[in-house]
Every structure is written in structure tokens, then in C-alpha cells.
Amino acid sequence: MVLKRLMRCCCCCCCKHADDEEMVEFGGGSVHVVTSTENWDQKIEEANKDGKIVVANFSASWCGPCRAIAPVYAEMSQTYPQLMFLTIDVDDLVEFSKSWDIRATPTFFFLKNGQQVDKLLRMVLKRLKRCCCCCIAKHDDKDKIDFGGGNVHVVTSKEDWDQKIAEANKDGKIVVANFSASWCGPCRVISTVYAEMSQTYPQLMFLTVDVDELMVTDVSSDLILRSHMLVVSAS
């Protein structure tokens, strides 16, 4: 017997047999509660037809974090109409949930054309919102941002990074490296100013690394990224 499992069973029994007024509403806002595999297939097909990304929330009525995030999830479904928000109760669709290898609730999947593009375990609200924004930015061409304006060079690989650093060292230039993301609001705001600065200060080399395309550890083990819009000088 494991203590966590015992506590989970207690919570499950209490919530399953609680009065209806105490049950959480998983279908608020524009969230659709999936009630069968046929219903799932129908929603995936509908999303594919409309060009929408699916956010699938595998949840449970006895799960505290699931209950806490339900109203926020409902609000997000109205904030991001580009996405289709689904909720699957793991107790109602046991076999279906097993097929997705659900080991904790809530678990969120992001799907495009029926294929997984991201996954988020457990409830971290900021990360959930970030994933939604990221998916929208990645898959919506209208929302794409140009990080390579002016004299800014967008780094696409470790080799590209090493080449630019060597080039800057040879020319005696200081490197300004901007670790950014297309879904990051401040990054999008600063991109045009950053491009202008690259033309104003030709004695510097301006680089941008998209953290969704290339991790900071991929380009240098000496850099530690704690937030986006990290700007460092390298030589």
C-alpha cells in the first residue's frame, strides 16, 4: 500500500459519491466533454477541418488540481478560439485513457491534425497558457514574427552559433545574443527595436535564438536561461 494511492482512493470515493451540487463542471465555456471514442473522433475530425489545434485535458472529478483548473480552463477556451478544448474524464473512458498512457491527472495533450505536438503533465497554469500561446504562434502563419529583421542573424543550429561566434571574434565584435520565443509577448514587442539596434550599432553582432527551435544548452553549456528575452554578450 502506498500512501498517495490510499489518499487518492479516499478522495475518489468522497467525490464520486458527493452531492451533485458539489461536482465540478468540466464543460464550462467552450470546453467540450468527450463522452465516447466516437465523440472523440468526431471532434478531432471537426478540428482538422477547421484547422484548429486540439487541447485535450485528461481529468477526473476526484482530482483536486483538476477541479481547481476547471474554471480557468473554461475561460481559456473562450480566450483562445483558435484552439479546440476537450476534456476527458478518465473514470468514464478508462480504456481510452489507458491508450493515451495517462498516469497522472490532469494531463494535457496538444494535437494538430490528430498528431501530438506537445504534452503537459500535471497542472501548472503558467505552463498551460504558455503551451497554448506557443501552439498558436507555431501553427498560425498570420501570427508569425520576423526575428531576422535589420542585421539580426537568426541562429538555427549549434554549428551556426559556433560559426557566428568565431566570425565575431575574428572581427573583434561583441555578440549580443537574444534568446526569444515567437509566443512570448515581450519578445514580440522588442523584436523591431532589436532589429533597429542591429543597424544602429554595426560594431556589435546581433543574434537571435528561438528557444522553441534550439535550446540554450544546444548552443552553449556556459549559458543559463531563466527567462525569455535573455540578452548576453559573448566573445
What's the CA gap between 45 and 141, in Å, rounded? 21
Selected catalytic residue, list 63, 134, 135, 187: 63
Amino acid in the structure at residue 154: V
Return the biggest CA–CA distance within the chain.
73
Backbone angles phi, psi at 59, to 5 degrees: -130, 180
Burial 130-141 (b: 16+ CB within 10 A, else e): bbbbbbbbbbee
What's the CA gap between 64 and 96, in Å, rounded? 22
What's the CA gap between 144 and 228, in Å, rounded? 17
Selected catalytic residue, list 12, 13, 66, 131: 66
Q: Hunting for cell 467525490 — which residue is that?
A: 15
Task: Work out the end-to-end distance of the chain between its first and last CA atoms, rounded to an integer number of angstroms.
Answer: 57
For residue 227, what is the DSSP state?
S
What's the CA gap between 88 and 92, in Å, rounded? 8
Active site residue 14: no
Closest to 218 measured CA to CA, from 135, 153, 155: 155
Q: Are the beta carbons of 136 and 79 closer than 8 angstroms? A: no
Active site residue 63: yes
Enumerate the active-site residues: 63, 66
